Amino acid sequence: MFKQILVVFLSVALLMGGFVGQVQASIISTQDAMSVETRQARVAEVHQLMSREDVREAMVRLGADPEQAQLRVASLSDAELMDVHGQLEKLPAGGDALVVIGVVFLVLLILDLTGVINIFRR
């Protein structure tokens, strides 16, 4: 009985070994590598701003779920992310409450226009 189970197991293992996927490796340019790192840095900065308590309160007042908005930042295109990041760079270091609310509104508007969320159209 043990030999039969072993034969079946080894047969399945040998058959499954033939279905290994193909892998293709290539050299990436420095520009491609830098763009990935830059995007990750921008996403991290936007996440850091959105995790502030005053920003979270403003998002709740606007009717948005802060956790869902955090998840949606990663789905922004590079152009949208650059736009939001550019707006964040113009903010003063202390963070004016109206400016922060404006940036949150801008992020929500971009997400709404791209169809990711549906806040302003009811």
Residue 108 neighbours by CB distance under 10 Å: 21
Residue 120 neighbours by CB distance under 10 Å: 13
In which region does residue 77 sit, left (phi positive, over 0), alpha (psi from -120 to 50) or beta (all else)? beta
Domain positions in the chain are 46-122
Lowest mean pLDDT among 12-16, 24-28, 81-85, 90-94: 90-94
The packing angle between helices 30-50 and 66-73, to 10°, is: 170
Tens-digit pLDDT profile for residues 19-40? 666 767 788 888 887 888 888 8
Residue 53 · residue 101 · CB < 8 Å: no
Tens-digit pLDDT profile for residues 93-112? 555 666 677 777 788 777 77
What are the b/e assignments for 39-74, b being 16+ CB within 10 Å? beebbeebeebbeeeebbebbeeeebebeebeebbe
Instruction: Classify the C-alpha dihedral 62-63-68-72 as positive or negative.
Output: negative
